[in-house]
Structure 1
Amino acid sequence: MVRSLRLGAASVLPGSLARRIEPRLLQLLSQQVKNGIILVAGTNGKTTTSLFLREILERQGYCVAHNATGANLENGLMTALMESSNLVGKLDVDYAILEVDENILPRVLAPIQPKLILCLNLFRDQLDRYGEVDTISKRWARAIATLPPETIIVANADDPTICHLGQQLSQQRVSFFGLNEPEHYLEAIPHAVDSIYCPKCGHALNYKGVYLSHMGEYTCPSCGFTRSEPTLNSATWPQILIGLYNKYNTLAAATAAIELGINEATIRETIPNFQPAFGRAEELKINGKQVRILLSKNPVGTNETIRVVTQSSDKTTLLVLNDRIQDGEDVSWIWDVDTEKLVERGGTLVVSGDRVYDMALRLHYSQKTAESNFNLIVEEDLRQALAIALEHTPDNETLHILPTYTAMLDVREALTGKKIR
């Protein structure tokens, strides 16, 4: 009914209602998945990685349940499993891929008993809702350690916190993914960095190089903690979509698929045919203009989307900043974003959203000189901002839109007429 009335994707409400009738619903549904449930957890990259892994498994011929809308709290997980079940609650799927909010992962491990957990990364995100990265990682480690030995953990070797978590798991089977491409090192560690201290002893890590934020190749000069060797050589793998962060998503899904017994040829065949999830490097054609939506919801993710924009020749960018519950109501994180790089390259920057003036102020203070060569347009009304941004985009260029989560939903509804929740 929710979908028929065009009120949303019905990705949460059914699970919320069913949970009141049967509190054990998540456990009962999880037990019916034939080959097991795959949980995908982390701050950035969950939706893209989950979708890519799903396409790999489906190419291999498996039937897969998936919370494709990104509803990653408990009610959303239940709704995704219910959607694949029949009227009497029987589930007939080989795998279920569930992306999980990093804060609830410890709560759902016991009822779900996953076959595989994909640990992508941990960054600061939604400061008003979540604790520090170290606090979350310790909660993850305690909960995962209670799982049976046959549980598979696929961990990001380039993230010191996640790598240390994987190294500490003595009972479960652990494999790692990461980059082996020094040519992509950043010139310096970015301002928006979270975990440059050893998670084992607290000493500052020595970095051979960083790829993004605190993710790179490192060692601890004090206790000897060092990065684990990834299962796959990243230099031999193409990537899905644009941006270095999507190379991580590729390697994460590919490593998980190999751990599940999928042959490498199937994985490689999936990459060139992959289509992005909504808002994640999604490309649309609007009024004859090319539009690319790059979800930008925290410092690290936004710095990476800015890197994509500045490496292009396109000179029009729309930034949309909201502060609703799903975004996090604390928008102070924008001061950790390297917006100076957008301002330095010039062009037109249009800003909108619930916190439009906060973003405008951040861009204003990103100027190194009073004569900075960029055109800043402030527009409270999102639809008008979209029209202005499209008007300023030449026919041979792409309009890049950098929205927070709820802003991305608003942008897509305005551009396509379809609401997603």
Structure 2
Amino acid sequence: MSGSSIRYVPAVLAGKVARVATRLRGGGSAFPGYIANRLAPSLLQTLGGQFRYGVVFVLGSNGKTTTTHMISEILRAHGLRVFTNPTGANLPQGVTSALLAEATLTGRVRADVAVLEVDEGFAADLADVLAPRVIVALNVQVDQLYRFYETERVADMMLDAATRASVRVVVNREDPYLSKIDEATLRSPVSFFGASSDVVGSSAHGLVNAADTRSGNAGTRERDAESEVVSVDGRAVEIRSGDEVIPVTLPARGLHYAVDAAAALSVARHVLAGEFRAAAASDGFSRMAPAYGRGELVPLRRDPAGEQVEFVMFKNGPSLQLNVDALDGAPERVLIAVDEGTPDVSWLYDVDLGAFDHVDVVTGEKAHQIATRLAYAGIPIGVVEPDMEKAVEIMRGFAPASTGRQVWFVNYELMMIGRRILGYGDQEVARR
């Protein structure tokens, strides 16, 4: 492969040492990449230029980690060796850190393709370094306004990055901003994915994508979809992709996951070209465990055959709404946890929480703010306990749920803390 060189040994070695040290301390996943990039500014470009099937970027307000996981598993089902950043470390230093985990000391990565979740704010600059062949833009939803200020700015970041794709841009037809992409500005053709109007209409709140506030048309532009969700029954969905209808078993329930799956199928088609096989794609989904903390099941106690915790991670109003809408009834045992990793939780008042008939425990540094919102909605609360460790002990103290499962709605930081309290600080236990 091109680019591997003895000159990268000091930077790669320093990054690997930093990675071991930070893992022993229980965090700091981006720090090794920061060290390596400072020592060898051209390292990331060299690492990214080695993949026979190129680099894929996954962008979007929500769904990046899940879609990255889906694309990776479809490609693995076709026999490809896939490099990815599975924990969602999506800033340049995080991507470098993930690459360092797989690289030899001379900067060689043994993989056929890289599928990378990328932060929208850095996507264009990172694309100039890594030269992605395929870029997928999932959605523009109200998120991180304290950082981005307005949703149309996020849309522009994605659309700007899309001009760097050399083979294909894959775009959500159901998104008011992204569906209006100007194909004349692009180097490569555009394919669209989405869901049928009947499928979207059957969801209580649709896909919760942001309305277009600048074009005079708040809705979407009509587009033909290369991949379209045509039926959803729990985790069993059907997606028309090309000339085929492909049965898919989702790793977690919800319309948003079905649409992510449609995006993943389109991306895989353009990475693999003539090598794509619908049967292999369907098989990849059937073997797919949930992405880290997204519908993942972890034992509540040490007995792996006992009661389970389903982690449902959210980071903003749209992701919470979509996950609440995906519930198949009010959970028998439920915990909601938010900490300072979500600085402003005022968006909670825009989320319809009517699917809950109670919440057993509210925890995290934002516990009292969550409890106030639940109280306004008339939802009974069992305990407000800001300390996550104490909250977990309360949940463990309940009689086992008749379903054998508790449901924990958590933001990213408390998802990681909760998993660690239960004894699973890494990703290897991800299951359905």
- The interval holding the TM-score normalised by the smaller chain is 0.7 to 0.9
1:184 and 1:152, CA in 2 relative to 1: closer, same or farther beyond 3 A? Answer: closer
2:361 is equivalent to residue 386 of structure 1: no
Contact kept? 1:294, 1:402, Cα under 8 Å: yes
Cα shift at 1:193 = 5.1
Structure 1 match to 2:225: 230
Structure 1 match to 2:130: 112
Structure 1 match to 2:286: 272
2:340 is equivalent to residue 323 of structure 1: yes
Structure 2 match to 1:37: 55
1:161 and 1:285, CA in 2 relative to 1: closer, same or farther beyond 3 A? Answer: same
1:132 and 1:385, CA in 2 relative to 1: closer, same or farther beyond 3 A? Answer: same
Give the SS at the match of 1:399.
strand
2:390 maps to a residue whose letter is Q
Residue among 252, 273, 294 paired with 2:263: 252
Cα shift at 1:166 = 5.9
Residue among 144, 152, 160 paired with 2:168: 152
Q: How do 1:387-406 residues align onto structure 2 when only pairs under 5 Å count?
A: 387-392=393-398, 394-397=400-403, 398-406=405-413
2:415 is equivalent to residue 408 of structure 1: yes
2:367 maps to a residue whose letter is V
Distance 1:252 1:203 in 2: 24
Q: How do 1:41-56 residues align onto structure 2 when only pairs under 5 Å count?
A: 41-56=59-74
Q: How do 1:6-25 residues align onto structure 2 when only pairs under 5 Å count?
A: 6-8=24-26, 11-25=29-43
Aligned-residue sequence identity (percent) comes to 28
Structure 1 match to 2:210: 195
Distance 2:200 2:209 in 1: 20
2:177 is equivalent to residue 161 of structure 1: yes
Of 407-416 and 131-140, more deviation after overlay is shown by 131-140
Structure 1: which 4+ aligned runs deviate by more than 6 Å? none
Q: How do 1:283-302 residues align onto structure 2 when only pairs under 5 Å count?
A: 283-287=297-301, 288-302=306-320
Alpha-carbon displacement from aligned partner over 1:204-255 (angstroms, at most 9, x marks no partner): 43xxxxxxxxxxxx5xxxxxxx231111242233341211111012111111
Give the SS at the match of 1:61.
coil
Q: Which runs of 5+ in 2 are unaligned?
A: 1-16, 231-237, 240-247, 428-432
2:425 is equivalent to residue 418 of structure 1: yes
Contact kept? 1:286, 1:415, Cα under 8 Å: yes
Distance 1:348 1:354 in 2: 17
Contact kept? 1:160, 1:198, Cα under 8 Å: no
1:313 and 1:125, CA in 2 relative to 1: closer, same or farther beyond 3 A? Answer: closer
1:356 and 1:242, CA in 2 relative to 1: closer, same or farther beyond 3 A? Answer: same
Contact kept? 1:349, 1:377, Cα under 8 Å: yes
Give the SS at the match of 1:129.
helix
1:350 and 1:87, CA in 2 relative to 1: closer, same or farther beyond 3 A? Answer: same
Q: Which runs of 5+ in 1 are unaligned?
A: 206-217, 219-225
TM-score after normalising by structure 2: 0.82
Give the SS at the match of 1:103.
helix
1:177 maps to a residue whose letter is F
Distance 2:297 2:258 in 1: 18
Alpha-carbon displacement from aligned partner over 1:112-146 (angstroms, at most 9, x marks no partner): 1101111111112122112311112123323433x
2:150 is equivalent to residue 132 of structure 1: yes
TM-score after normalising by structure 1: 0.85
